[in-house]
Structure 1
Amino acid sequence: MRILPRLFAIVAALSLLTQPASAQSVLRDAETEALLNDMAAPLVAAAGLSPGNVEIVMINDRSVNAFVAGGQAVYIHSGLIEKADTAAEVQGVIAHELGHITGGHVITSSQGYAKASRISILSMLLGVAAAVAGAGDAAMGVMMAGQQAAMGKFLAFSRVQESAADAAGAQYLSKAGMSGRGSLAFFKKLQSMEFRYGVSQSDDAGYGSTHPMSGDRIARLTRDYEADPAWAKPDDAQLQARFERVKAKLAGYIQEPAQTLRQYPETDTTAPARYARAYAFHKQALMDKALSETDALLKIDPDDPYFLELEGQVLLESGRPADAIEPLREATALTSNQPLIASLFGHALIATEDKSHYAEAEQVLRAAVARDRLNPFAWYQLGVIYAANGDMPRARLASAEQQVMSGQYTEALRSAQAAEAGLETGTPDWLRAQDIAMQARGELERGKKRK
């Protein structure tokens, strides 16, 4: 490992803004995505954006962070969900990130970088000139001072954007009729983290940061939030209950089972605790205990699709695909064929290795990818079905879809070319194979240029 020079640190910081998820895995869960979309919807409307065009994505990263990327995507780290105590806290973060989107900050970050680059490049040229003249120490001093100025310019630009996003987020919360208490509570958590890690709270400390100091942000936002008519409005109890379930599910999925069982002991019989323990027991291969928790959840609400999905998942991944079919079929129907749940259902049908289920599996999986093309797992399962039915060109096409989404561009190109060769010319599938081949070639060429 090595420390990047400061000039390259600026480039790295910018690349995180423009390509944030490329090196990180996305966590996908039907219940979690439904909750995040419902939490964001009134804020998206308040920001003047179309809910269907804004994507809320959860990243598998236990650090406390959120950011925006190109287009209208808000990325939330799983660590932020773990750290938050309320849905309102997460909504405050979403409101802030929407402020970055409406402010066009991903695009304008390039302006801040350009200004910083000009300073740094100029300092390098001056340093080279000094070195040629024989003043080596002076050359090094000029270059270091120039790079420090470049970093300061970029950080100042970033802090202005963060302050603008804070103000916009407060406006969106107000317009949506939501209290800013959750937003302030989360900023106070960040401030506590700053104290814990020894971040200076002095007036000049913020000059070395991409964000304004949390204390300054809290003071400024407190004035705005307390003056807002929604300040005393209670949080949405239904959203909070859903958030507690999702948070527990996430803990059970991500944490080590021992940690989950300490956090959610068996004396806790609430639905979130049972959710967390079901995942913990399942990870320990304690199928009977995991199913005991899912049975208890279904006694609370036998028609809850996410409880049914969990039961089906435990059964399927424990080697009982035939038993998983009915709960997953019911969960799929109750959610109007939600693609992630439908994909799991299709997988269970295939895993029985009973050919009488294959026609239904193909129907379910085709519907799933039609609603959610960015689902490599569903494409893989669909490819299995096509291959089992002897339809190798479409099996190759499904593989190409899965491979290009997974960054396997060489394999995707090979699969797309094989699919194109076997499909009827001019059909939609033939055209799609051409598109994937073109995309894969483009990515491979960009990879060569980067090297």
Structure 2
Amino acid sequence: MMRFVQRAARATMLLSLMLFAAAQPAAAQQILRDSETELFLRDISKPLIEGAGLNPRHVQIVMIQDDEINAFVAQGQVVYIHSGLIEAADNANQLEGVIAHELGHVAGGHAIRMNDGVKAATGISVLSILLGVAAAVAGAGEAALGVIAAGQQAAMGNFLSFTRAQEASADEAGSKYLSAAGYSGKGSIEFFKKLQNQEFRLAIPQDNSYGRTHPLSGERIAALEQNYRKDPAWNRPTDPAIEMRFKRIKAKLLGYLDPRKATMAYPESDQSIPAHYARAYAYHRGAYPEKAAQEVKALIAAIPHDPFFLELQGQTLLEGGDPKAAIAPLREAVARAPDQPMIAVMLGHALVASDDPKNIAEAKQVVKSAVNRDNDNPFAWYVLGVAYDREGDAPRAALASAERNNLQGNNKLALASARSAMAGLKPGTPDYLRAQDIAMVSDYELNKNKKKKKKAE
């Protein structure tokens, strides 16, 4: 009997893990941040978000570093797009189709409702185990295992049916958002056909989607294509300016993530702007500074005051060991794109790294402005902390360190830095109260982790 219960417990645990994996998005992946890419994603998503009846200020489109062709939503109004999906997309309209689908999940509250699917499947599984245990007590051990196995299969089938229904719902909603935005559905169909080709290569049967979390791509194409063709936007081309912006971010992404592949995809015979962009990042990442400088020079010659080309010029100079030379292009980039805090942080970094005391006040000013716009950037708090330290303002340097460690989940360091800041700040001031908040949160988290550890022991 004990052996049977152990086997049943292992089977239950396996099912639970499978349900958990199916119900949870990918985690612990590196977020990729780039000013130009984030602005592009925000611009193409805005009409879709409005079409979904959501507030563009509350919805985030986040890129994560992952080669897999995938996108997903988590709880809250956040859409995560894998870098591999952007690389796989052929045009901006295909990316718009993916975002529209994911917004269907957001508007439908699917991440929250996923727990309903898990609960229903778990209920089936638990019932089958109880029946199996009863059969085992009666002496029918093999029959009991059969009952449990059948229960597990039914539970998983129930859960997969639930997720397929959510995917079909998101497809339908996404088609409405594309129509409301005036975007063609061609890109959506094209991308589903890409996925269908992958299914063919993986020899996935195309006659039945049972056992899958998503409907088969062929089923999705058949369900959506007629609606898309009737829409007035079906033959509407993508704005050429949007298409060029897509080509730029795709090229720079490849140059940054895979320099060798980028130089093969964009050989030097290709003198287009995306090709120069890809090679500039690839050569910079590959430690060929002279070649990178030539590619950046070609970009700026083509569009002299483009803030993102100026940002790249400043970045290559700064990371190449010449922060003083990086200041001028970064100053112009900030002036031409004042709403891009990450460029301002890079300028602050160059000013601090120049080792010129005259630049510290400017560094502090531009980085403080940046964190007011985007306070979730740990590196910005690091640069601001260095600027405060150079000025001899130890309490605010400690507060900046507390902010950085708090964002990075380093509760012990955050608590120590917050307490150090409080010791030198005037009680009741905004900075003191902020340090106090960080100290309280960090102390709470540390105590919570201690209790968990003791309980586990």
TM-score by length of 2: 0.93
Match of 1:365 in 2: 367
1:420 deviation in Å? 2.6
CA distance in 2, matches of 1:276, 1:270: 10
CA distance in 2, matches of 1:243, 1:309: 18
Counterparts of residues 128-139 of structure 1 (less than 5 Å): 128-139=133-144
CA distance in 1, matches of 2:426, 2:275: 53
Match of 1:98 in 2: 103
Match of 2:5 in 1: none
Map Cα deviations across residues 203-224 of structure 1 (whole Å, 9 max, x no partner). 2xx1111111110000111011
Q: Secondary structure at the match of 2:120?
A: helix
Residue 8 (str. 1) matches residue 17 (str. 2) = yes
Match of 1:272 in 2: 274
Question: Quick one: which of 350, 355, 358 aligns to 1:356?
Answer: 358
CA distance in 2, matches of 1:161, 1:185: 21
CA distance in 2, matches of 1:118, 1:445: 34
Q: Secondary structure at the match of 1:53?
A: coil
CA distance in 1, matches of 2:230, 2:446: 54
1:447 deviation in Å? 4.9
Matched residue type, 2:21: A
Counterparts of residues 265-414 of structure 1 (less than 5 Å): 265-414=267-416
Call closer, same or farther: CA 1:230–1:142 in 2, change over 3 Å.
Answer: same
CA distance in 2, matches of 1:441, 1:66: 35
Residue 197 (str. 1) matches residue 202 (str. 2) = yes
The answer on whether the counterparts of 1:7 and 1:120 sit within 8 Å (CA) in structure 2 is: no
Unaligned stretches of 5+ in structure 1? none
CA distance in 2, matches of 1:307, 1:87: 21
Map Cα deviations across residues 356-380 of structure 1 (whole Å, 9 max, x no partner). 1111000011000000011111011
1:444 deviation in Å? 4.2
For the aligned residue pairs, the C-alpha RMSD in angstroms reads: 1.8
CA distance in 2, matches of 1:386, 1:354: 14
Deviation larger for 93-102 or 138-147 = 138-147
Match of 1:79 in 2: 84
1:136 deviation in Å? 2.5
1:446 deviation in Å? 5.7
CA distance in 2, matches of 1:119, 1:224: 37
Q: Secondary structure at the match of 1:5?
A: helix
Question: Quick one: which of 238, 245, 261 aligns to 2:241?
Answer: 238
Call closer, same or farther: CA 1:447–1:186 in 2, change over 3 Å.
Answer: farther
Q: Secondary structure at the match of 2:63?
A: strand
Call closer, same or farther: CA 1:185–1:242 in 2, change over 3 Å.
Answer: same
Map Cα deviations across residues 136-162 of structure 1 (whole Å, 9 max, x no partner). 322322222212211111111111111
The answer on whether the counterparts of 1:399 and 1:415 sit within 8 Å (CA) in structure 2 is: yes
The size of the alignment, in residue pairs, is 443
Counterparts of residues 206-225 of structure 1 (less than 5 Å): 206-225=209-228
Match of 1:45 in 2: 50
Unaligned stretches of 5+ in structure 2? 1-9
Deviation larger for 426-435 or 112-121 = 426-435
Question: Quick one: which of 36, 40, 59 aligns to 2:41?
Answer: 36
CA distance in 2, matches of 1:442, 1:69: 25
Map Cα deviations across residues 81-112 of structure 1 (whole Å, 9 max, x no partner). 00001000000011111111111111111111
CA distance in 2, matches of 1:445, 1:77: 35
Q: Secondary structure at the match of 2:24?
A: helix
Matched residue type, 2:160: L
The answer on whether the counterparts of 1:400 and 1:413 sit within 8 Å (CA) in structure 2 is: yes
Match of 1:60 in 2: 65
Question: Quick one: which of 423, 435, 442 aligns to 1:433?
Answer: 435
Matched residue type, 1:413: L
The answer on whether the counterparts of 1:416 and 1:434 sit within 8 Å (CA) in structure 2 is: yes
Q: Secondary structure at the match of 1:208?
A: coil
Q: Secondary structure at the match of 1:207?
A: coil
Residue 159 (str. 1) matches residue 161 (str. 2) = no
Call closer, same or farther: CA 1:318–1:230 in 2, change over 3 Å.
Answer: same
CA distance in 2, matches of 1:279, 1:123: 57
Match of 1:421 in 2: 423
Matched residue type, 2:329: P
Match of 1:229 in 2: 232
1:233 deviation in Å? 1.0
Call closer, same or farther: CA 1:181–1:287 in 2, change over 3 Å.
Answer: same
Q: Secondary structure at the match of 2:291?
A: helix
Call closer, same or farther: CA 1:142–1:444 in 2, change over 3 Å.
Answer: farther
CA distance in 1, matches of 2:34, 2:242: 17
The answer on whether the counterparts of 1:7 and 1:150 sit within 8 Å (CA) in structure 2 is: no
Call closer, same or farther: CA 1:197–1:444 in 2, change over 3 Å.
Answer: farther
The answer on whether the counterparts of 1:155 and 1:208 sit within 8 Å (CA) in structure 2 is: yes
Map Cα deviations across residues 275-306 of structure 1 (whole Å, 9 max, x no partner). 11011111221111100000110000111000
Deviation larger for 63-72 or 311-320 = 63-72
Call closer, same or farther: CA 1:363–1:85 in 2, change over 3 Å.
Answer: same
Deviation >6 Å, runs of 4+: none
Q: Structure 1 vs Structure 2: percent identity of aligned residues?
A: 56
1:258 deviation in Å? 2.2
Call closer, same or farther: CA 1:299–1:148 in 2, change over 3 Å.
Answer: same
The answer on whether the counterparts of 1:366 and 1:382 sit within 8 Å (CA) in structure 2 is: yes
